[in-house]
Amino acid sequence: MRNNNHKACRRYGVKLCQSEKCPVFTRKYPPGIHGPKGMGRLTEYGTQLAEKQKAKVLYHINERQFRRYYEDAIRKTGDTGEFLIQALEARLDNAVYRSGLAKTRAQARQMVSHGFFLVNGKSVDVPSYQLKIKDTISIKPNKAAAKIFENLEKRLEKVNVVGWLHLDPKEKTIKVLSMPKPEEAEQAFNPRLVVELYSK
C-alpha cells in the first residue's frame, strides 16, 4: 500500500486502505508537522469535499470518473446517493476485491487491467466495467496458475462475501445475485454529502 494512501486515511480519520496495519488506528491525527493538533473545524463545503475525497481514495478513481458516476446517478429516479454507491460497488475491480480474489482494491484493479478475468466467458480488462445481475466472473484459464493465485482456494474459504455476490471457492467464480445495497458498502463516506456538494 502506498504511503500517500495511508496519509489519506490519517487526513480524513477513517480507514480507506485495505491494510490490517493502517496507521489511522494508532495515529488518530492528520499527517504532517501540525498533525497532532488535529484538523481544524471544517466549513460545510470542506466537510462535503472531504466526503468526496474519501470515496475517490477508497475506490481508486479520479475526479472525471467520479463526476460521471454522479451524473449517471442524478438522471435516475430515486435516491441519488444510493445509485452513486451502487455504481461504485458494481465496478468489476471492486467485485474482484470484495469476493476475495484480490487482497486489495489496488491489486484487483491491476489484475483486471492485466486481463486476469472473464465476465460471462469474455475477457474484460476495464476495472470500471459495470456488472449486472447474473454476470459471472471467472479467472482466465491461462492465468489460473499465476503466483498471485497461490493458495487461493484456502484463502477464499475464509472470506466473508457481501450479499450481492455469490462466491464458489472451488470453481473460483463469482456470480452477481443482485445490485449492491448501500448497507453492503464500506461505510467510509457519506454519499448524501457528496450529492449535496455536486448539486450546488
d(CA 86, CA 180): 5
- Eight-state DSSP code of residue 167: E
Q: Which residue has the cell 465476465?
A: 119
Q: Is residue 26 part of a domain?
A: no
pLDDT band at 1 (very low <50, low <70, confident <90, very high): very low
- Eight-state DSSP code of residue 43: P
In this prediction, residue 49 carries a pLDDT of 94
More confident: 6 or 59: 59
Q: Is residue 27 part of a domain?
A: no
Q: Which residue has the cell 464500506?
A: 186
- Eight-state DSSP code of residue 125: -
Give pLDDT tens digits for 173-200. 999 999 999 999 988 899 999 999 999 8
- State mean pLDDT over 28-56: 75
Q: Which residue has the cell 484493479?
A: 109
Q: Is residue 38 part of a domain?
A: no
Give percent above pLDDT 70 in the chain. 80
Range of the domain at 149: 90-181
Q: Is residue 33 part of a domain?
A: no
- State mean pLDDT over 156-169: 91
d(CA 92, CA 130): 6
pLDDT band at 34 (very low <50, low <70, confident <90, very high): very low
**What cell numbers appear for 3 in the block?**
504511503
| CATH number, domain containing residue 173 | 3.10.290.10
In this prediction, residue 6 carries a pLDDT of 62
**Length of the chain measured in residues:** 200
**CA angle in degrees (0–180, nearest 5) for 83-185-175:** 85
Q: How many domains does the chain have?
A: 1
**What cell numbers appear for 66 in the block?**
467520479
Q: Is residue 146 part of a domain?
A: yes
- Kindly compute the dihedral angle of the four CA atoms of residues 48, 53, 59, 63, in this order, to the nearest 10 degrees: 100
pTM equals 0.82
Give pLDDT tens digits for 123-160. 999 999 999 999 999 999 999 999 999 989 888 888 88
- Eight-state DSSP code of residue 37: G
Beta-carbon-side half-sphere exposure of residue 65 (alpha carbons within 13 Å): 16
**What cell numbers appear for 158 in the block?**
475464509
Q: Is residue 174 part of a domain?
A: yes
- State mean pLDDT over 79-97: 97
d(CA 22, CA 25): 6
